[in-house]
């Protein structure tokens, strides 16, 4: 955190890779397009290659991104309410590999902030994410 910022809220999410695979079997690309923006899909496919979501690594990454989006909306305190969709939160990686969050102007207006810290992890069977929503101000939570 930067001096003058405080934690507004925290959020976390946890997802079974098997559950995601079952959803992808039923819904395919339409599910990926529902959860990720075109910019997120292009970013992942440009770095990892076409057909990426058909690989185990791609499904793990997708699960982590879904968890990150859920953790962010929980940390902001609203969830997906007041007209927000999954496309109002985007997840990218810095060159170092660390994840960062971009939110739409609609989300910034509703939440009063666009600053988040995020951690994503996954293993063979599960993905999880933890988010902090930050706002201007001194002090703790």
Give the separation between CA 67 and CA 26, rounded to whole angstroms: 20
Residue extents of the structural domains in the chain: 5-136
Give the separation between CA 34 and CA 59, rounded to whole angstroms: 15
Give the separation between CA 96 and CA 16, rounded to whole angstroms: 26
pLDDT confidence of residue 113: 83
What does the pLDDT look like over 66-101, one tens digit per residue? 999 999 999 999 888 888 999 999 999 998 989 999
Residue with tokens 């007209």: 83
What is the DSSP secondary structure assignment for residue 61, as one 8-state letter?
H
Stretch 3-21: mean pLDDT, rounded? 92
- Residues shown for the chain: 141
Percent above pLDDT 90 for the chain: 67
Q: Is the CATH code 3.90.470.20 the one for domain 5-136?
A: yes
pLDDT for 47 beyond 90 = no
| Predicted structure pTM score | 0.90
């Amino acid at each position: 955190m930067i001096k003058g910022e405080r934690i507004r809220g925290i959020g976390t999410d946890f997802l079974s890779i098997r559950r995601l695979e079952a959803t992808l079997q039923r819904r395919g690309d339409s599910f990926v397009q529902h959860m990720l923006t075109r910019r997120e899909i292009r970013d992942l496919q440009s770095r990892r290659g076409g057909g990426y979501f058909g690989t185990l690594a791609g499904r793990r990454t997708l699960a982590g991104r879904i968890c990150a989006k859920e953790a962010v909306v929980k940390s902001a305190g609203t969830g997906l309410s007041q007209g927000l969709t999954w496309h109002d939160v985007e997840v990218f990686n810095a060159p170092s590999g660390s994840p960062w969050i971009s939110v739409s102007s609609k989300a910034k207006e509703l939440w009063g902030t666009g600053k988040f810290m995020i951690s994503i992890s996954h293993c063979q069977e599960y993905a999880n994410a933890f988010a902090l929503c930050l706002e201007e101000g001194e002090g703790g939570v």
